[in-house]
């Protein structure tokens, strides 16, 4: 493929992404300052090479899967994000009250809203997380916060209202026992050890031990639920609003796939970097493109994926994921 053909392919792909209309030779004559016959000949070459294909309802041509793939690998440059886009994401990054998982989820919600594509987060906690410390922080007369920290820097907190007969001192004593006996224990084992090792000890030392025990049990249980494997969707209906999905059969097919968790789990990314899977290259559906990025931040790992039609704004989506990766890796939560 020569330089002119590359420029022609780039223009055809980007025009089709914007207009969803097959591109004819006349539409390209003015931009390239070439005759209609010359443009037609070049388009015929690109079609023969497999980068374009004829649309069945007109004489115009549209990009093939091979054409999109060549475009993203050789011709596309990530688009610069607008100031508004950056501001929306920065608002999330600067919110220090959010856990890492909540930061990721809120960011993909924004990306879904801006791009009008479907976003998915497949998250799982690292099995290497062990308990580093549990702390009790009084915040008001009858309220405390239980803070759970891991060796990988994951911090979760849960607020409790205390009954009149429970003192903060008893909770602090219990936290000291837990820290003495369970620091270094894998988070997945803490609840069980709490039941069989800690509960008998506090039963002998603390009057209202059942209530105190339940506070710590609830704190660890809440931590486990937040950090176990999860699937977070945003903008499921966005994909269905694309022109490609204008009949009931296609809509039903995509909806059923969104509801199939085992299929959604296959979206998980194992490779580093931002990876683009077009049509038959992805295991989700051959009518879509899935752009994925793996993350691993302070012991929390998973996949961020954006699902759209093959006629996707690749430059914009890649720019968002690059920005997200850069800011998440710099996040000091």
pLDDT tens digits, one per residue of 266-302: 898 888 899 999 999 998 999 999 999 998 887 678 8
Residue 191 maps to a domain: yes
Average pLDDT score over residue span 197-210: 91
Provide the domain count of the chain: 3
**244 and 109 within one domain:** yes
Q: What percent of the chain has pLDDT over 70?
A: 94
**141 and 214 within one domain:** yes
Give the residue, 227 or 315, on which the prediction is more confident: 315
Which of 185, 210, 227 terminates a domain? The answer is 227
Residue 124 maps to a domain: no
Q: What is the CATH number of the domain that holds 106?
A: 3.30.450.40
**319 and 242 within one domain:** yes
Of 169, 180, 174, 155, nearest in space to 215 by CA: 174
**93 and 61 within one domain:** no
pTM for this predicted structure: 0.71
**218 and 159 within one domain:** yes
**253 and 308 within one domain:** yes
**222 and 142 within one domain:** yes
**208 and 138 within one domain:** yes
Residue 126 maps to a domain: no
Range of the domain at 99: 83-117+235-329
**322 and 253 within one domain:** yes
pLDDT tens digits, one per residue of 133-178: 999 999 877 889 999 988 877 788 888 988 877 889 999 999 999 9
Give the residue, 310 or 221, on which the prediction is more confident: 310
Which of 204, 227, 250 terminates a domain? The answer is 227
**136 and 203 within one domain:** yes
């Amino acid at each position: 493929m020569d330089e002119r053909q590359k420029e022609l392919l780039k223009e055809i792909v980007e025009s089709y992404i914007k207009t969803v209309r097959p591109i004819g030779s006349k539409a390209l004559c003015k931009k390239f300052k070439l005759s209609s016959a010359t443009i037609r000949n070049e388009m015929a070459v690109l079609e023969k090479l497999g980068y374009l294909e004829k649309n069945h309802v007109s004489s115009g041509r549209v990009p093939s899967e091979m054409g999109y793939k060549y475009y993203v690998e050789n011709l596309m440059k990530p688009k610069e994000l607008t100031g508004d886009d950056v501001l929306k994401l920065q608002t999330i990054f600067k919110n220090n009250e959010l856990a890492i998982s909540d930061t990721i989820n809120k960011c993909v919600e924004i990306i879904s809203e801006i791009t009008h594509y479907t976003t998915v987060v497949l998250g799982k906690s690292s099995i290497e997380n062990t308990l580093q410390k549990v702390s009790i922080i009084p915040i008001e007369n009858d309220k405390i916060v239980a803070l759970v920290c891991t060796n990988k820097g994951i911090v979760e907190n849960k607020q409790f209202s205390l009954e009149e007969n429970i003192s903060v001192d008893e909770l602090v004593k219990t936290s000291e026992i837990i820290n003495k006996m369970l620091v270094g224990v894998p988070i997945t084992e803490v609840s069980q050890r709490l039941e069989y090792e800690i509960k008998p000890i506090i039963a002998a030392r603390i009057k209202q031990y059942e209530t105190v025990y339940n506070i710590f049990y609830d704190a660890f249980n809440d931590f486990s639920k937040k950090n176990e494997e999860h699937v977070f969707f945003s903008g499921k209906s966005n994909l269905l609003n694309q022109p490609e999905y204008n009949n009931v059969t296609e809509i039903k097919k995509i909806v059923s796939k969104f509801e199939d968790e085992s299929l959604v789990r296959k979206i998980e990314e194992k490779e580093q970097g931002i990876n683009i899977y077009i049509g038959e290259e992805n295991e989700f559906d051959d009518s879509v493109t899935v752009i994925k990025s793996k993350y691993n931040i302070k012991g929390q790992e998973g996949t961020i994926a954006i699902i759209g039609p093959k006629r996707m704004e690749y430059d914009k989506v890649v720019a968002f994921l690059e920005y997200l990766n850069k800011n998440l890796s710099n996040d000091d939560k």
